[in-house]
């Protein structure tokens, strides 16, 4: 009995010591490491592992979110600034390996001032183990990182390797080098707002989502866990039906008025309150959204600008790789002229970015559906909606415009002599374009030669997409035997 009492006393002492140090954490507008875990997981579901390991500044264990098994580690900033040491690193590796064995998501709550430099080369060895296991885990089990405090050095690299990186606007920061080191190197004082802040991290794609504080970051994490399978072998199983109507009359009106706001179309297609946008600050010209259609998770991307630049392309490439890793169906909503035409873009390697995007789409084996609602010319058709480029099914609205390239330019070239011989060339040009353009871009002509599978009534879009996703759940593709492609993503 004395042994039992001793154990109970030791565990109570753990909790009391943690609670005494919480005041300082709260003054920094941050929750404690255990508080974060308790809010994240279902009530009383957390089971800690490795609590007796000495000189550790991280809490590790497992629990459930809405009944779904997850593994978690949370750095405790109240213990020496959560400076990474060998014991903490070993605990992290152990919990990730356990998550991998069980095929369950790993959630990393990061809040650390750096490493214990006194450990020297030993900490390099431990950090290498962390990076190695995280790299091997990528695409096998979902990895979610919450940046709720400083995330420096290799921790920033580790977080960026996650499937989802969520940063707190109030307290989160990500940098490879410390502000002090950078200030000395540059010979000028560098503020957090200049480098490593949540806005900077999200602008470059280091962070997938920015939320205001700890609580919001944790809530969005719980939502993400409900959107993704536990591992890459699990199917995208529907757990609930939506009460939202399948027929959305407003989409007919948008089509008739040619008011093709793709973000609004997405909202009408998805279940209510299911939209979750990723990489929002990385580019404003394209949207990359996770959501649900009658309970089934889908990834939708759309364009909101005539021409797309390198940032837009890189954002789309990353999103497609994420969806494909966990067999999340991809829906491409298309209304764009194509890719940016500028000298700067060419110098920066626009064609190489397009190559990486094309490779990602072609290599992906998840269900892929294209919906052309507006312009789809030349390279934009091939990249975002081409049946021959790997899309399983291609639908179009009656408002779709499909053409080899910009139709006005084609007409001008074809009718150049007739235009130049006219008394009023500009007027003649307008007349000829007005006469020929509708027939040239007609979706019915594209359907006749098999470029699209069906022209659908806009109000039926939500229903038709759901039926396709449901049908494509059993999709299998035979892949050529190889280690991997050589395109760098």
Q: What angle do CA 348, 353, 354 make, to 5 degrees?
A: 125
What is the spatial distance between Cα 431 and Cα 385, in angstroms, rounded to a whole number?
31
Tokens 């364009």 belong to 303
pLDDT the model gives residue 242: 78
pLDDT the model gives residue 417: 82
pLDDT digits (tens, 9 = 90+) for 9-61: 777 776 666 676 787 788 888 999 999 999 999 999 999 999 888 889 999 99
pLDDT the model gives residue 265: 95
Averaged pLDDT, 411-417: 83
pLDDT the model gives residue 419: 79
Q: Which residue has the higher pLDDT, 320 or 284?
A: 320
Other beta carbons within 10 angstroms of residue 230's beta carbon come to: 18
For 44, 56, 288, the CA distances from 86, given in Å and listed in that order, are 29, 8, 39
Question: For residue 118, which phi and psi values (nearest 5 degrees)?
Answer: -65, -20
pLDDT the model gives residue 1: 55
Nearest Cα to 316, choosing from 329, 330, 327?
A: 330
User: Between β-strands 164-168 and 143-147, what pairing exists: parallel, antiparallel or unpaired?
Assistant: parallel
Q: Which two tokens stand for residue 421?
A: 């011989």
- For the chain, the C-alpha Rg in angstroms (whole number) is 26
pLDDT the model gives residue 236: 66
In angstroms, how far apart are the furthest CA atoms of the chain?
Answer: 108
Nearest Cα to 473, choosing from 291, 266, 363, 327?
A: 327
What is the spatial distance between Cα 96 and Cα 431, in angstroms, rounded to a whole number?
67
Averaged pLDDT, 160-176: 91
What residue spans of 258-307 are helical by DSSP H? 262-269
Average pLDDT of the chain is 89
307 DSSP β-pair partners:
338
pLDDT digits (tens, 9 = 90+) for 207-253: 899 999 999 999 999 999 999 999 999 876 666 777 889 999 999 99
What is the spatial distance between Cα 25 and Cα 31, in angstroms, rounded to a whole number?
6
pLDDT the model gives residue 14: 67
Give the rounded percent of residues in the chain with a pLDDT score beyond 90.
56
pLDDT the model gives residue 17: 65
Nearest Cα to 223, choosing from 234, 211, 241?
A: 211
User: Between β-strands 286-293 and 276-278, what pairing exists: parallel, antiparallel or unpaired?
Assistant: antiparallel
The DSSP H or E segment spanning 461 is helix 461-472
What is the spatial distance between Cα 284 and Cα 27, in angstroms, rounded to a whole number?
35
pLDDT digits (tens, 9 = 90+) for 103-143: 999 999 999 988 888 888 888 888 899 999 999 999 999 99
pLDDT the model gives residue 65: 97
CB–CB of 429/368 below 8 Å?
no
- Comparing 1-10, 40-49, 339-348, the range with the smallest average pLDDT is 1-10
Q: Which residue has the higher pLDDT, 193 or 350?
A: 350
pLDDT digits (tens, 9 = 90+) for 365-398: 999 999 999 999 988 899 999 888 889 999 999 9
The gap between the terminal CA atoms of the chain, to the nearest Å, is: 60
> CA 195, 316, 302, 273 torsion: positive or negative?
negative
- Comparing 17-26, 88-97, 152-161, 474-483, the range with the smallest average pLDDT is 17-26
Q: Which two tokens stand for residue 336?
A: 């764009």
Q: What is the full DSSP assignment across 212-256? A: SSHHHHHHHHHHHHHHS-SSTTS---------S-S--THHHHHHH
Tokens 């002509």 belong to 445
Q: Which residue has the higher pLDDT, 114 or 319?
A: 319
Q: Burial-class residue 488 by CB neighbours within 10 Å (0-12, 13-18, 19+).
A: exposed
Asked whether the predicted pLDDT for residue 175 surpasses 90, the reply is no
- Comparing 3-12, 342-351, 435-444, the range with the smallest average pLDDT is 3-12
Kindly list the structural domains of the chain, giving each domain's residue range(s) and its CATH number in brackets, ordered by start: 2-227 (3.90.226.10), 250-400+452-472 (3.90.226.10)
Q: What predicted TM-score, i.e. pTM, was given to this entire model?
A: 0.90
pLDDT the model gives residue 27: 85
What is the spatial distance between Cα 379 and Cα 283, in angstroms, rounded to a whole number?
20
Report the Cα 88 to chain-centroid distance in Å: 29
Report the Cα 92 to chain-centroid distance in Å: 24
For 30, 284, 348, 351, 356, the CA distances from 342, given in Å and listed in that order, are 45, 19, 10, 12, 19
Q: Which two tokens stand for residue 108?
A: 């990393």
Averaged pLDDT, 431-460: 90
Asked whether the predicted pLDDT for residue 428 surpasses 90, the reply is no
CB–CB of 271/300 below 8 Å?
no
Asked whether the predicted pLDDT for residue 307 surpasses 90, the reply is no
Q: Is 287 left (phi over 0), alpha (psi -120 to 50) or beta?
A: beta
């Amino acid at each position: 009995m004395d042994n039992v009492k001793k154990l109970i006393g030791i565990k109570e002492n753990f909790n009391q010591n943690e609670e005494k140090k919480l005041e300082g954490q709260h003054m920094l507008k941050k929750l404690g490491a255990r508080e974060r875990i308790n809010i994240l997981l279902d009530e009383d579901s957390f089971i800690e592992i490795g609590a007796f390991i000495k000189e550790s500044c991280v809490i590790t264990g497992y629990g459930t979110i809405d009944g779904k098994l997850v593994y978690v580690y949370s750095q405790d900033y109240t213990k020496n600034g959560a400076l990474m040491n060998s014991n903490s690193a070993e605990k992290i590796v152990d919990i990730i390996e356990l998550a991998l064995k069980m095929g369950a998501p790993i959630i990393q709550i990061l809040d650390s001032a750096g490493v214990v430099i006194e450990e020297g080369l030993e900490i390099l060895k431990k950090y290498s183990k962390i990076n190695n296991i995280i790299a091997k885990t990528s695409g096998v089990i979902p990895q979610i990182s919450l940046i709720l405090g400083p995330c420096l050095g290799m921790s920033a690299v580790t977080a960026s390797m996650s499937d989802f990186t969520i940063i707190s606007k109030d307290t989160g920061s990500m940098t490879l080098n410390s502000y002090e080191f950078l200030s000395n190197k540059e010979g000028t004082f560098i503020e957090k707002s200049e480098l490593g802040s949540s806005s900077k991290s999200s602008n470059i794609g280091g962070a997938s989502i920015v939320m205001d504080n700890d609580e919001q970051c944790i809530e969005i994490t719980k939502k993400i866990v409900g959107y993704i399978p536990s591992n890459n072998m699990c199917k995208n199983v529907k757990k609930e039906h939506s009460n939202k109507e399948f027929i959305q009359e407003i989409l007919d009106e948008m089509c008739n008025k040619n008011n093709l706001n793709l973000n609004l179309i997405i909202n009408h297609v998805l279940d209510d309150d299911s939209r979750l946008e990723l990489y929002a600050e990385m580019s404003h010209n394209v949207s990359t959204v996770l959501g649900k259609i009658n309970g089934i998770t889908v990834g939708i991307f759309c364009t909101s600008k005539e021409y797309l630049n390198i940032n837009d392309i890189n954002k789309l490439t990353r999103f497609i790789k994420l969806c494909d890793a966990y067999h999340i169906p991809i829906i491409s909503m298309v209304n764009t002229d194509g890719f940016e035409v500028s000298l700067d873009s060419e110098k920066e390697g626009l064609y190489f970015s397009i190559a990486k995007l094309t490779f990602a789409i072609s290599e992906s084996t998840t269900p892929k559906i294209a919906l052309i609602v507006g312009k789809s010319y030349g390279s934009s058709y091939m990249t975002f909606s081409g049946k021959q480029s790997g899309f399983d099914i291609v639908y179009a609205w009656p408002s779709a415009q499909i053409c080899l390239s910009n139709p006005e330019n084609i007409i001008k070239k074809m009718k150049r002599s007739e235009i130049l011989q006219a008394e009023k060339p500009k007027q003649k040009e307008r007349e000829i374009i007005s006469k020929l353009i509708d027939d040239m871009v007609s979706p019915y002509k594209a359907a006749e030669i098999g470029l699209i599978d069906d022209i659908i009534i806009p109000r039926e879009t939500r229903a038709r997409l759901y039926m396709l996703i449901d049908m494509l759940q059993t999709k299998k593709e035979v892949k050529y035997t190889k280690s991997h492609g050589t395109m760098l993503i």
